Structure 1
Amino acid sequence: MEIDFSKYLPVLAAVISVSLGYMYGVRSKKNDRIMQLTQESLKEVYSPMFHEISRIISKMVKPIDREKMMDSFFDKYASDVTSVYKLGNLGLMQSFYELSNKYQQFKLTRDSSVWKDVWYEFEEVIFYEVKSGYMNSVNLLYRDFKWQQYIQAKPYWMKLYFESIKFLHETANGAIVTSAILLYFSGFFRLLGLGLFPKDFWVISLIIFVMSVLASLFLALFNMQYIILSSNIKQSLLRKSMNKIFPKLLFKWDGLFSVRKNYNKVPPMYDINIHKD
């Protein structure tokens, strides 16, 4: 089958240019806003919360000191001037306020079962989510930090080379996404018998998709320094992808074998009866 590529070049050029224009142009303002909000939430909420909870759950803390620290924690983040809204996570905020109410219930009843429930939510839900948000925020803000340090010390021509390879690799990745979308819709409409695309358009999309994948793999070899310096090597690629695409599913998977009734990491609560005069 002979395909006349010239018929499709204007359409493909328009689609690819619009897609790349969106990725590198229109989306930049939104990304700048996200970076600004991430920086604020990291400084004002995620970092303080992470370190405060880390101290509270430490095994070295005495029960009386732990309870005082938890009192201070909930007073601070459940006050009228709280910055907890900057977590940017409605699920986490709801869990926090529910736990705050449950902790107040414990303070009134001093019930050991309520304390166990409070501690489980505090360590296994709140701390897990806060830690995840803290690490993700740091990774987002400083993803290119080591890379920029690396290339700034290089001669001008090497900086130009590294930046050019990075741009070409990202362009190839963008072409993969664009061609995959075109392939999906053109192939799907062809199966349905709809003539919204030219007859051989899906073939052209498939060819461009394969070529883009090969180009991306080839350019990745020359772009390996950026990939290494901008990656979190302590986290597997599969887990990193799952955490980015399906964070709730990954959280449920991590807690699949963690049954609350068998949770045995609850520290002793402060017994005020023992210390009464």
Structure 2
Amino acid sequence: MSLENGAVSVEEGYAYWTGLPGHIRFDIGKFRQQFGELNRWHLHALPETEYPAALRAYLGDDGLAGTGISLYRAFGGLGTHELTAQVTRSASDALFGGGGRPTYLLHLLNFWQLTRSAYMQIGVTGLYGTNPDSSLRTRVGGLDFRMTWRPPARALYREWTLRAELYALRKEYGGAGATHLGWYAGTTYKLGQRWIAGARYDYVEDPLSTLITRQITPSLTLWESEWVELRAQYTWAKSAGRAATGQLALQAVWAIGPHKHETY
């Protein structure tokens, strides 16, 4: 549930069943969709105060969510692999023009345990939807990468993560359209039990104006307690033909109880 501008809305509400034939998990309801890695996370669980610029530009300010069904299956062989297929009625007017038609998403995640202290994962995502009323066809592709080093004996005090995602958006009207690219690369390093330093670089081509924007965002996070997280971050942004801007943000997060989409 969320409360914004005096209105209450459901961020996620779904039921799921595990242990179905074929070792399939089945979800039905409203959920954040499995596009890459960070889109699935709720805002409070992100390593920065907001989603990456390309994710917001292509999937919406709040990311991609929809009401529908999801099928999930994990399997082995040269690592661990997870396949997710989703059919939803997306709430994204920017992507699909508010047509209310079914949208289709497929995500494959590949996971490898490199050593006792390190693992790597690489994923690929495809999203497709239409709006016959405006002859709109939307395709979004994505690649996601993550590597994490966490020594078991020092896991409370040391952890380093490198992650990146690439997005490709193509919207066609009457069979014609352009492809826009955006990506980010970010890293976080645990300085101690309570302090985390991070930095992220963003690149995005605006799908409407084709304007290219670059951002650099360093951040410092303090876990004041198990339930309270404090963060300071600075964002430097530069768009082609415009003056650079800077923004300082301070964030406080209170979270009590289990949260499925925390970092892991």
**TM tier, shorter chain?**
under 0.3
Which is helix-richer, 1 or 2? 1
Structure with greater contact order relative to length (CA < 8 Å, sep ≥ 6)? 1
Which structure has the bigger radius of gyration?
1
**Structure 1-normalised TM-score?**
0.20
Q: Which structure is higher in strand share? A: 2
